[in-house]
Structure 1
């Protein structure tokens, strides 16, 4: 006697991922405030740090070159912050719409849900960052795209870190409900002083430098300063960052799956309100 219970899909389906991406794109393009928000804050930060760079750039020699790293640091920080935020907001929109239970009862696999959120993260990030990088060229003569292949290495490492953070926070929200959503906005900012975004790691206390070097973004920001100030691409820093990101991402995926399983047991998938 065969069971009539529906079976879980056995293979990863790009079609289901595309369907989820299309759903979020429909929501995004139908709301101009959502689109405006993607560009507004990166623009404000770029102008603020850009004018500060112009002020510091009035100095001479190495100090003037160091000033050029400010706006580069801000743009790379926005990749880290907004890459994770784009993931988290897409996930939270399912929470706010009370749609998580429906998704979990559908053929959609957790890996497909995560893949769709990663895709939306990149789409949201590009919508916000491309215009801002072009404005940086117009206002301050700083061309992030001129970094070439180095930019691809910076982007890959930062987006991996942002996805790891977003996966972990999404798992917490699954387990503890929408009341934990504040973590999605704040957790990345804990990294800012430790990752030496706007200053070298060497200015940190000795005991804090060890913690800074355990974080993948630190290698990216140090690598960006080496490229902008000294004209040297530090491939060794990017390899270290990639290795650490592989560990962090594996831990994040494991944490997400564990928290999702606990949410199923506790019944919070169907009770994702405050």
Structure 2
């Protein structure tokens, strides 16, 4: 290979090194996935070592956990992706030449998130019935409470992520895919919160998702609906939804003042 070729290759590599150096979300994303996978499966292993018969005690507990987790993930992604599609198409400026108000945009994002989540998770839940002979709908009315709390938590995260992307540009769009997974090990999706170290249990208490998944296991294992866990999740979600919407609107005001709405795109 000639010296000129090496120089061109080096120049292109250097360009992407500069991109990494100037964008902390990109660097964070590189470290993020291996770390989260290691922590999550580490806790799953620790739990199953001492509870090998746990899965057999309640048929479909892992399927329920996967489907409910996807409600949170799809709820968040539904807000973030719909918003970023407007950025990718350079349509934000056009939208706000119209009489559209920021709160109306927020309402539309939440509505689209709900539609996408119902289609995605609902389809998967229906496929699980003939495939695994398990229906998550057998949970009954508590399923409505679990679904509502998880999607509202997803909305809160989605609005916050959308605001960050609006503020820092599409270099931060990777956050839409990985931020919510940082909460998965602390949410007790596949194991009880009690398996976590005590200091992490204190952190998990402030996540609505941890109360939802503890409530799910109470229904499946103990056949009782924990209203105390529901109340905790609702109160936390009210606070987080207010924070998420407030942060998005604050970032939006800054972007409008700086003229960023007309200078976003791919």
What's the TM-score, normalizing by structure 1? 0.76
Deviation at 1:60, TM superposition (A): 9.3
C-alpha displacement of 1:67: 5.9
CA distance in 1, matches of 2:236, 2:131: 36
Q: Conserved in 1, the CA contact under 8 Å of 2:55 and 2:62?
A: no
Of 80, 88, 91, 1:99 maps to 91
- Structure 2 residue aligned with 1:118: 110
Alignment match, 2:37:
none
1:190 aligns with 2:182: yes
State the partner residue of 2:144: 152
Instruction: Please name the residue that 2:62 is paired with.
Output: 70
Deviation, 1:63, is 4.5
Structure 1 ranges of 4+ moved more than 6 A: none
- Alpha-carbon RMSD across the aligned residues, in angstroms, is 1.7
Shift of 1:226: 0.7
Unaligned runs of 5+ in 1: 1-55
Hey, what does 1:132 align to over in structure 2?
A: 124
Give the Å deviation of 1:61: 6.6
* Contact kept in structure 2, 1:176 and 1:268, CA below 8 Å: no
Q: How far apart, CA to CA, are the structure 1 residues paired with 2:243 and 2:122?
A: 31
CA contact (8 A) 1:177 1:271 kept: no
Secondary structure of 2:131's counterpart equals helix
Corresponding residue for residue 221 of structure 1: 213
1:133-177 CA-to-partner distances (Å, cap 9, x unmatched) read 111111212211121210110011001100000000111111122
When residues 103 and 198 of structure 1 are mapped into structure 2, their CA distance, relative to the original with a 3 A threshold, is: same
The alignment status of 1:212 with 2:209, answered yes or no, reads: no
Whether 1:143 aligns to 2:140 is no
Alignment length (residue pairs): 217
Larger relative contact order, structure 1 or 2 (CA cutoff 8 Å, min sep 6): 2
TM-score (norm 2): 0.78
Write the mapping of 1:169-184 to structure 2, written as runs, cut at 5 A: 169-184=161-176
Which runs of 5 or more residues in structure 2 are unaligned?
Answer: 1-47
Change over 3 Å in CA distance of 1:60–1:168 after alignment to 2: closer
